[in-house]
């Protein structure tokens, strides 16, 4: 739903560039498609909440689960405290008020919590037996590195493109985690998680 909202909203705004403009500007104060943009951002936040629940039920990994819950809260803050784009989403230049500050703080907090969840799964799988598969730990490590690198690129040229690649990295990892945890929960015997290591 997030990506459907992003692509559909972006196509409705004259002059909006997926390469040059941030996704959050579609939900900004001053955007004609703010409703669609807000729903897209909330869909991303809820996906992290659902994945956190899957991790908690499937693997009982408290740190990963609560990090994803926190990422949900940060994502919700990003959607609620919308940046200001008086001239519209295309070529947005934020006013820089306190709402903008909270918005960008939410983005930073989201990334921190997402990285904690990724690194927790990576370390747990690499250091020894864990409820989740080793391959997912390696994927989580690669996703964490990719997430940091891609987010850093948003400060340069074509920030919209790099932001989309960053979120694609995070969302692909999230989908793999949620699916793997759900399958594991379905296969685990009753009470089998009690012996699982809690992270």
Q: Cα-atom radius of gyration of the chain, to the nearest Å?
A: 18
* CA dist., res. 92 & res. 83, Å (int): 9
Q: Is the pLDDT of residue 189 over 80?
A: no
> What separation in angstroms does the CA of 182 have from each of 41, 60, 125?
24, 12, 17
Sorted by where each begins, the domain ranges of the chain are 2-187
Residues in the chain: 199
Nearest 5°: CA angle at 174, between 187 and 140? Answer: 90
* Predicted confidence (pLDDT) per residue in 121-141, tens digit: 999 888 877 788 889 999 999
- Greater model confidence, 32 or 116: 116
Across the strands, what pairs with 29?
Answer: 84
Contact by Cβ (8 Å): 103, 83: yes
Nearest to 76 by CA among 21, 38, 27: 38
* Predicted confidence (pLDDT) per residue in 99-127, tens digit: 889 999 999 999 999 999 999 999 988 88
């Amino acid at each position: 739903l997030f990506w459907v909202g992003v692509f559909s909203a972006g196509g409705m705004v004259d002059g909006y560039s997926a390469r040059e403009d941030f996704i959050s500007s579609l939900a900004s104060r001053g955007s004609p498609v703010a409703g669609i943009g807000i729903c897209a951002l909330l869909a991303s936040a809820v996906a992290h909440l659902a994945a956190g629940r899957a991790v908690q039920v499937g693997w009982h990994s408290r740190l990963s689960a609560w990090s994803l819950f926190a990422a949900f809260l940060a994502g919700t803050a990003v959607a609620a405290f919308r940046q200001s784009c008086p001239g519209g989403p295309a070529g947005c230049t934020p006013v820089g008020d306190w709402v903008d500050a909270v918005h960008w703080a939410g983005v930073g907090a989201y990334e921190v919590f997402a990285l904690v969840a990724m690194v927790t799964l990576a370390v747990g799988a690499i250091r020894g037996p864990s409820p989740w598969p080793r391959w997912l730990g390696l994927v989580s490590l690669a996703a964490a590195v990719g997430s940091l690198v891609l987010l850093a690129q948003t400060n340069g040229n074509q920030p919209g493109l790099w932001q989309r690649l960053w979120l694609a990295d995070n969302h692909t990892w999230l989908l793999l985690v949620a699916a793997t945890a759900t399958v594991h929960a379905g296969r685990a015997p009753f009470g089998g998680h009690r012996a699982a290591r809690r992270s």
